[in-house]
Amino acid sequence: MAIDKYYTQSFTVQSYTESSTFPYDLAWVDGSTFKGALDTVSSNDRWADSQLVAISSHWIATKSSVSIAKGDRIKYGSRIFEVTGIPDPVSLKPGHHTEIYVKEIT
């Protein structure tokens, strides 16, 4: 697919998971990595619907095979983003790509 050539940035999915060592507290744990393209959300696009209930500051385009859920976090270098929504913008062409809406938290 032509859009794949824009997936030049590497991201790491983080999940809030119980630690595997004592004292077994909950912590953000790095998971899989994926390639994508990060962009800011324009002021005209900052909207909320049934899938996107929080204000998003950025969005990431990536392959549709990436496994991520609302509530996960995404690490990009020293920056951390909270996943606010994963709508299906390409419903006319399933499997084309996934758009992940995020809010920068650090």
- Assign domain 2-104 to its CATH superfamily: Bacteriophage SPP1 head-tail adaptor protein (2.40.10.270)
48-71 burial: b if 16+ Cβ within 10 Å, else e: eeeebeeebbbbbbbbeebebeee
More confident residue, 100 or 43: 100
Give yes or no for a contact between 97 and 69, defined as CB atoms under 8 angstroms apart. no
pLDDT in tens, 76-85: 999 999 998 8
Q: Give the domain ranges of the chain.
A: 2-104
pLDDT for the residue 37: 93
Q: What is the value of pTM for the model shown?
A: 0.79
